[in-house]
Structures are given as C-alpha cells and as structure tokens.
C-alpha cells in the first residue's frame, strides 16, 4: 500500500499526537483545558453519590449546617455567654462564619482524599491529574450555595435584612477556595505516598476551627494575642463574610484582607508546584 493510499483513507479530522521529550510540561496547561469536561463529569458523579441512599437526600445540605449552628449557639452563646455584635442574632452571627469555614474545611478534606478515592481512574489512564482535586470545587460550591437557603430562612425568622454588601460574597468565596486549594493540593500529593495524611487533616481542621472566629468575634480574643490571631487567613475571610452579609464593621481591616489574599495566592502557587512535582509518580505509587 502506497503512502498516497494511506493518506486517502485517513479521515481529515484525525489528529496526530507526537510525543517528544520535554514537551509534556510545555503542553500541560493546554491539555488540562482540553480535558476540562472530565472535571465536570467527576464533579457531577460526586454530587450524585454524596447523597445517594440517604433518607433525606439533599436536605443534608441544610440539616448539617443547622445542627452546627445549634451546637455553636448552645456552647458559645448560652454556656460561654459570648456576646453577639451590633444586635445581630447569635444564630445568624454563627452561620455567617460557619458558611466560609464549612466551604474551606470540606474542600480541604475532599481535595486531600481525592486521588485515593479516584485511584482506579488515576492508575489506568493518562490525563492531567490536577483535574481530580479541582473537581471537588464544584461539589463543595453546590453545598455552599444551598447553605444560603438556611441563611435566608434564619434572617427571615429574625427579621434581619442583609447588607447591600452581600454582592461581594462571590469574591470572598473565591478567596476561601484559594485558601483551601493551596494546602489541599499539597496534602493530596502527600496523601498518595504517606497515608498518615488522612489522619492529620481532621486534626488540622479541628485546630483551625478553634483558631477561627466561627462561634465568636475577634473582640473576644485577648488584645495581646490579636496579632497572632490575625495571621490565620481565615480570620479575614470569615469577618469579610460578616461584613458583607451583616453589614458589620470589618475588624481585621482592608490591609489584613489584602495580605490574606496575597498569602492564599502564594500558597496556591506553592501547592500547584508540589503537586506537579509529584504527579508523575501517582500512577506507580497509588
């Protein structure tokens, strides 16, 4: 068979893939974009699986934050008698801090475990592995949006009108995702080789919850410890949510928020670098 006959029988739309040394890294980001549909498929599957074979299904997205609000209100508001702020009902204050923290903590947990959960997919076919932890973002955003239903119900019950600043919530949600993604990518890469990570993550989240103003306000922190307290980037994020939803004064200040954004961005770059450095070994180690 001649070369001409081969060309004649080759469909015009067929693509020729050439593998050359050193070109994988150069084409990585374009390959990631072309394979983005896989991320949507994984996210859709995870959303469907998360509430499958449960009695109340999607209502768990409302029940879980409602139970957390009840516990936080009981512990901090009733037992510890920590004050609210500017006349805001304590359950509303708690939920406005719980929403960004829940997005951060669940996204961090899901990212760190994502490669192990999808081990069969990772080991049997090639695609940019970064898609796997990224697919957890839409799943957790889905729960985050549903939690706004509970916030609307609480505000309606207490007759509390949200601030016009609520339009800044999407930007603050992006900052929350950045805060979780940098550490989440690092932990996902480490979790493939060191399975101890799965036990460390819940401990980190428990400590982070206590060090973040979810059930209290920064004013409850002793003044001599507030500088160390403000080094936690989630402090600015949570107070930013309260500023946007409740119209409260932004205690950390714009400078602290900008510093948190720069820190989260730098940490994300570091997380991607660690993930990419380890990515080639995932299929062999997992």
Would you state the pLDDT for residue 122?
Answer: 85
Continuous H helices in 125-232? 131-134, 136-158, 169-193, 197-210, 226-230
Helix (H, G, I), strand (E, B) or coil at 187: helix
Burial of 147 (0-12, 13-18, 19+ CB in 10 A): buried
Burial of 224 (0-12, 13-18, 19+ CB in 10 A): exposed
Q: Give dist(CA 64, CA 9) in Å, integer.
A: 59
Query: 158-168 as b/e, with b when 16 or more CB fall inside 10 Å?
Result: eebebeebeee
Q: Give dist(CA 132, CA 32) in Å, integer.
A: 11
Helix (H, G, I), strand (E, B) or coil at 18: coil
Pairwise pLDDT comparison (59 vs 167), residue with the higher score:
167
- What is the average pLDDT value for the chain, to the nearest integer? 84
Q: Crossing angle, helix 254-279 and helix 233-246, to 10 degrees?
A: 130
* Inter-CA distances, 190 with 170, 196, 200, 273, Å: 30, 9, 11, 13
* pLDDT higher than threshold 90 for residue 238: yes
Pairwise pLDDT comparison (9 vs 91), residue with the higher score:
91
Residue written as token pair 């799943």: 139
Q: Dig out the tokens for 212 from the structure.
A: 């973040």
* pLDDT higher than threshold 50 for residue 254: yes
Domain ranges, ordered by start, for the chain = 42-285
Among 144-158, 244-258, 271-285, whose mean pLDDT is lowest? 244-258
* pLDDT higher than threshold 90 for residue 274: yes
Would you state the pLDDT for residue 131?
Answer: 93
Q: Give dist(CA 188, CA 112) in Å, integer.
A: 4
Would you state the pLDDT for residue 51?
Answer: 78
Percent composition of the chain: helix, strand, coil (DSSP 3-state, to 5): 75, 0, 25
Q: Dig out the tokens for 261 from the structure.
A: 């954004």
- Structure pTM? 0.85
Q: pLDDT tens digits for 67-93?
A: 999 998 888 877 767 777 777 888 999
Would you say 185 and 131 are in contact if contact means Cβ atoms under 8 Å apart? no
Instruction: Give the largest CA-CA distance in the chain.
Output: 87
Residue written as token pair 């304590």: 90
Helix (H, G, I), strand (E, B) or coil at 195: coil
Would you state the pLDDT for residue 258?
Answer: 87
Mean pLDDT of 3-20: 46
Name residues whose C-beta falls within 8 Å of residue 165's C-beta, 6 or more positions apart in sequence: 243, 244, 245, 247
Would you state the pLDDT for residue 191?
Answer: 93
Helix (H, G, I), strand (E, B) or coil at 58: helix
Q: Please report which confidence band the pLDDT of residue 6 belongs to, taking 50, 70 and 90 as the band edges.
A: very low
Q: Dig out the tokens for 87 from the structure.
A: 């006349």
Q: Please report which confidence band the pLDDT of residue 63 belongs to, taking 50, 70 and 90 as the band edges.
A: confident
Percent of the chain clearing pLDDT 90 (strictly above) = 41
* pLDDT higher than threshold 60 for residue 1: no
Q: Dig out the tokens for 231 from the structure.
A: 């080094």
Q: pLDDT tens digits for 175-230?
A: 999 999 999 999 999 999 888 898 999 999 999 998 999 988 888 888 888 888 88
Would you say 243 and 169 are in contact if contact means Cβ atoms under 8 Å apart? no
């Amino acid at each position: 068979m001649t070369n001409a006959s081969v060309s004649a029988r080759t469909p015009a739309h067929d693509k020729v893939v050439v593998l050359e040394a050193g070109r994988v890294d150069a084409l990585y980001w374009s390959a990631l974009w072309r394979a983005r549909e896989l991320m949507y498929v994984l996210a859709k599957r995870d959303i469907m699986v998360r509430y499958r074979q449960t009695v109340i299904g999607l209502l768990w997205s409302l029940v879980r934050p409602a139970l957390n609000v009840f516990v936080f209100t009981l512990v901090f508001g009733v037992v510890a008698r920590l004050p609210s702020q500017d006349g805001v009902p304590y359950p509303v204050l708690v939920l406005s801090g719980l929403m960004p923290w829940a997005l951060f903590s669940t996204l961090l947990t899901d990212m760190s475990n994502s490669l192990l959960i999808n081990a069969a997919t990772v080991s049997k076919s090639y695609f940019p592995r970064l898609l796997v932890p990224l697919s957890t973002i839409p799943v957790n955003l889905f729960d985050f949006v549903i939690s706004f239903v509970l916030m609307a119900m609480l505000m309606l019950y207490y007759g509390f009108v949200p601030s016009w600043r609520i339009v800044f919530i999407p930007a603050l949600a992006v900052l929350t995702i950045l805060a979780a993604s940098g550490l989440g990518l690092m932990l996902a890469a480490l979790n493939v080789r060191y399975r101890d990570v799965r036990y460390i993550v819940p401990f980190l989240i428990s400590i982070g919850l206590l060090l973040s103003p979810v059930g209290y306000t920064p004013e409850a922190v002793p003044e001599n410890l507030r500088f160390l307290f403000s080094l936690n980037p989630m402090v600015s994020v949570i107070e930013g949510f309260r500023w946007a939803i409740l119209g409260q004064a932004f205690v950390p200040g714009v400078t602290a928020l900008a510093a948190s954004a720069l820190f989260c961005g730098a940490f994300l770059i570091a997380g991607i670098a660690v993930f990419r450095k380890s990515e080639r070994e995932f299929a062999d180690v997992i």
